[in-house]
Copies of this chain bind each other. A is one copy, B any other.
């Protein structure tokens, strides 16, 4: 691998989710975000392939610590096709999380920038996300502005 001028970038490699990432701590990382039970290899593969079918319309990215081979950050974006905005597209960022041991190294910012760039490259007129009040300063640093209220209805 070519070394860049930035040693952090050499250590933390950002890329698309791969099926082998299940064995690199991907599920354990998601558990730092929300409820995420153990997933069987079969179930993981099935869901991976379901998402894969959407091609560039659903991108999950990860950052791997190349020293440890562990996934230390992730986030996803999917592209919604609309009729409004002259048949425009909107990117939806979901499930961004950085491992607690690697916070403060701008990995979250790299994830969000990667996902926003992907949405832009797919022709989206905007990219949106929902976050807690405490996380709004972080997303403001990533170029986002507060807009509306997220509302939820749980079925379980």
- Which A residues contact B (CB, under 8 angstroms)? 26-27, 30, 33-37, 39, 43-44, 46-47, 50-51, 58, 60, 76, 78, 80-87, 90, 92, 94-95, 116, 119-120, 124-133, 136, 139-140, 142-156
Q: Taking A151-B145, A151-B146 as contacts, is the C-beta distance between A83 and B125 under 8 angstroms?
A: no
9 contacts between A and B (CB under 8 A): A26-B83, A36-B85, A44-B83, A46-B87, A82-B94, A120-B155, A129-B151, A130-B148, A147-B151
Task: Give the interface centre of A139, A140, A151 by most chain B CB atoms within 10 Å.
Answer: A151
Once the chains are docked, how many angstroms separate the CA of A116 from the CA of B27?
A: 28
A147 and B145 in contact, given A81-B51, A83-B47 (Cβ under 8 angstroms) = no
Is the Cβ of B95 less than 8 Å from the Cβ of A84? yes
Question: In the complex, what residues of B have CB within 8 A of residue A124's CB?
Answer: 155
Chain B residue nearest in CB terms to A97: B84
Contacting pair A149 B126 (CB below 8 A)? no
Least CB distance, A21 to chain B, in whole angstroms:
10
The CA of A140 and the CA of B124, in the complex, are separated in Å by: 30
Q: Is the CB of A126 within 8 A of B153?
A: yes
- Inter-chain contacts of A76 with B (CB < 8 A): 82
Chain B positions within 8 Å of A133 at CB level: 148-149
By beta carbon, the residue of chain B nearest A90 is: B94
> Does A47 contact B81, Cβ atoms closer than 8 Å?
yes
**Interface-central residue, A37, A80, A116, by most chain B CB under 10 Å:** A80
